[in-house]
A and B are shown apart, each in its own frame.
Chain A
């Protein structure tokens, strides 16, 4: 089943810093909720594993993440697909855009994703809530990561 989600977030850093962090596997690893591993496999791809729980279904998703439509430092498209064993699968992507605003950089995201298997069967009606929560967590973590340490 398909799911869409969008939002934006103002980060207290300049566009170049945000862009660099968005391409830094070490930063993403600590920001992605449940992320167990994230390894760069090329300039535009990563392999990833993340533990996700949607309602009664919990699973470790393993998969690959690819970056495309790269427009430094203005944004990219990030797509991924993961298999969660008997829990099913998830695949999708997000268009991420950066623009300079007062107080830092506005990050806009537009997510489109599909889930299947047990996730869809049992978690279908919970998936939007869980995805929103995960996005909020990610950006809260990411905001921390891009905030310059207090002097």
Chain B
């Protein structure tokens, strides 16, 4: 390991610019002649648009245009798309309603886009937006996803009269039912997975620009996957062909999934730039982010676990209703289906699993992937079920888990996934040790003496990351392949530029990717630049989400580096007058085996470019290689988190006292960055468990649309985490990496709720477990005790 190579806890190269205010985010970019867009949004959850009167707005100072859905239709601009086809149980396709970037005829959630005002200044656009008079006929809101599919509910999209987008299933119903029929014990749970607002630190933003001379568009946008944005805007929305559309995603301040999607606002900015002949900028304010960034989670689930007389799990049966909101966002359909049900086996050997999912339209913001995307929902189901089953059977929850762990790999689950490797017991043992589980009873008694209820909760999660083998996801309905590309350009002086299709929006790629190059080429990381987020520089890429950038993006870089080294060896052979078979490359030097003749990497790079030592007929000059890497399997990071907390029965407040995380991420490039990802993930997961919840009232008004009403976790809500790792290298990619970006957010919620329910002695606690909810649960616990 070099000082900056694989495994070194290198400080993040990008942090200096971020923490000194020198980052360059979309809103930091301004174009000459730039105009400003403000959207007129629906105040109603569901309404027909009778008319839009923009006369006063158009006459308002500085206004260049007021555009509506009619203008979009006249220009034949296509609607936003959902890129994953899900089929119903009967094989018919899901029912996806139209999704115009500006409403056409009807609005379907509070915040839906009705018109856009473009003006010389932001203030002028905002003032004029006030003057757009929209005449609505208000229709009944459809808020509750259970009532949405019942008779009498209003219809959100005509294509789905009963508001059911799809009725999907996975697994073998017959064998699952048979296992339940012979089970000695059945645990049943009703589970709410609360709706979340993504809240990245940087709100979304976009600048559309059109060059009339070249007829080419440029879009600056807060995207996690600029190439996918270009593909969708070109091939489906039809704004411009790909070679006439450049998408740049500069520094992006967090995404958590919410910046994967192609939204109305950037679509409108690009389109409008040509219409007004000036660059058009839109920056979301925080209220718009609450209303219109795709929300996360929002499941209602009934789950059952069948266990035999020896405490061995026989089968699992899950029925989930998933709220997809008013429109199908870019990958919305896949999240509660193929990113969810295939994870229901958890870390356990479960012979039979059957899962049914109903995706439902409501008049609420679209719901799509949010850190973990489907896998936190699955883990919450599995880990709550397993915990409750152990309690009901009077078994230690750790021992019950261990008894049911998968021990042989590869392991084919009954729900698609083939786990390649893992050692679940190793993580559990290490976590139990770090958490000092054996002395928990003493700590519980100490808490009781102080009037507090102490509980401990486990979460043994698994996730499917490194998404994904293109053929596999294609067979499941994905509209794209999920490979990644890389190009390694070695400059004549030996510095290196890596062009990657991954996109960093907080993950630290500029450091970890450079560490891989440093390790392989033997050069310091400050001689490596990571280039991403510009479709004119990087040929193509699928972006960053699903903990894929290490496992897939870096594997592509690794493949390209192999090619660079192979080519450089040939160059070195000419320069050193030896045969390529005799050239060895180690620690940044090419040497002739058995001699003291050698050249540094930079010297070979120079030789490659001056091309004096070889004929162009024998070897092409230059040193630049590219690679596309398509993974052979998903990766399966796993681990055990243990949450220990105290409940104050008087106030319902929770104090998390200890948090132990032992994760198996396979090989680790930068342990400091990985630990940071774990910390952030846990904080987000604790946020879901204790604080966060997006709430619509019965009229479909979002009543948690600001930080006054939507509670985010803060540093003082969290203890100092004890973080450890175990390592089983991933056999499915050349670097042995599994991915770490979502683990904490997946692991944390069930650990917290298992700990609270352990403290209270009953299972009736719903997320977010706010002091009010916990106080109510404490009262119930006391009633239960009194009755006994």
Contacts and interface: CB of A to CB of B under 8 A. Distances in A.
Interface of A: 1-2, 59, 83, 85-89, 114-118, 120-122, 124-125
A88 B130 CA distance: 10
Contacts of A117: 41-44, 110, 701
A87 B110 CA distance: 12
A116 B43 contact: yes
Contacts of A120: 110, 697, 701-703, 705
Nearest to A91: B138
8 contacts: A59-B130, A86-B129, A116-B45, A116-B699, A117-B701, A121-B701, A121-B705, A124-B701
Contacts of B137: none
A83 B705 CA distance: 20
Contact of B706 (A88, A115, A122): A122
Nearest to A120: B701
B287 interface: yes
B291 A121 contact: yes
A116 B701 contact: yes
Contacts of A121: 110, 287, 290-291, 701-703, 705-706
B777 interface: no
Contacts, number: 64
A2 B697 contact: yes
Interface string B702-714: 1101101100000
Interface string B754-771: 000000000000000000
A114 B140 CA distance: 14
Interface residues of B, number: 26
Contacts of A86: 40-41, 43, 126, 129-130
A91 to B, nearest CB: 9
A85 B287 contact: no
Contacts of B45: 116
A116 B705 CA distance: 12
A25 B524 CA distance: 81
Contact of A2 (B41, B126, B699): B699
B393 interface: no
A2 B699 CA distance: 8
A46 to B, nearest CB: 19
B110 A85 contact: no
A122 B287 contact: yes
B44 A89 contact: yes
Given A2-B698, A124-B703, 19 more contacts: A1-B697, A2-B699, A83-B133, A85-B131, A86-B43, A86-B126, A86-B129, A88-B43, A116-B43, A116-B44, A117-B41, A117-B110, A117-B701, A118-B43, A118-B287, A120-B697, A121-B290, A121-B703, A122-B708
Contacts of B44: 89, 116-117
A52 to B, nearest CB: 14
B581 to A, nearest CB: 70
Contacts of A115: 701
Nearest to B290: A121
Contact of A116 (B40, B110, B132, B287): B110
The 3 closest A-B pairs by CB, nearest first: A117-B43, A121-B705, A120-B701
A16 to B, nearest CB: 38
A114 B43 CA distance: 12
Contacts of A83: 133
Q: Which of A59, A87, A114, A121 has the most CB of B within 10 A?
A: A121
A37 B142 CA distance: 36
Contacts of A85: 129-132
Nearest to B45: A116
Contacts of B699: 1-2, 114, 116
A103 B698 CA distance: 43
Contacts of B126: 86
Contacts of B702: 120-121
A85 B705 CA distance: 18
Contacts of B43: 86, 88-89, 116-118
Contacts of B129: 85-86
Contacts of A59: 130
Nearest to A118: B287
A144 B133 CA distance: 37
Given A1-B697, A1-B699, A125 B110 contact: no
A38 to B, nearest CB: 20
Nearest to A88: B43
Interface string B121-138: 000001001111100000
Contacts of B706: 121-122
A118 B129 CA distance: 14
A122 B110 contact: no
A117 B291 CA distance: 10
A59 B43 CA distance: 14
A83 B110 CA distance: 15
Contacts of A122: 287, 705-706, 708
A125 B708 CA distance: 9
B709 A124 contact: yes
Contacts of B703: 1, 120-121, 124
Contacts of B131: 85
Contacts of A88: 43
B367 to A, nearest CB: 18
A100 to B, nearest CB: 39
Interface in B96-154: 110, 126, 129-133
Q: Which of A89, A115, A122 has the most CB of B within 10 A?
A: A122
Contacts of A1: 697, 699, 701, 703
Interface string B666-710: 000000000000000000000000000000011101110110110
A81 to B, nearest CB: 9
A147 B697 CA distance: 42
A124 B704 CA distance: 9
Nearest to A62: B133
A122 B291 CA distance: 12
A118 B44 CA distance: 10
A59 B126 CA distance: 13
Interface in B375-428: none
Contacts of A125: 708-709
A59 B701 CA distance: 18
Q: Which of B132, B133, B708 has the most CB of A within 10 A?
A: B708
Interface string B31-62: 00000000011111100000000000000000
Contacts of B132: 85
A100 B42 CA distance: 45
Nearest to B697: A1
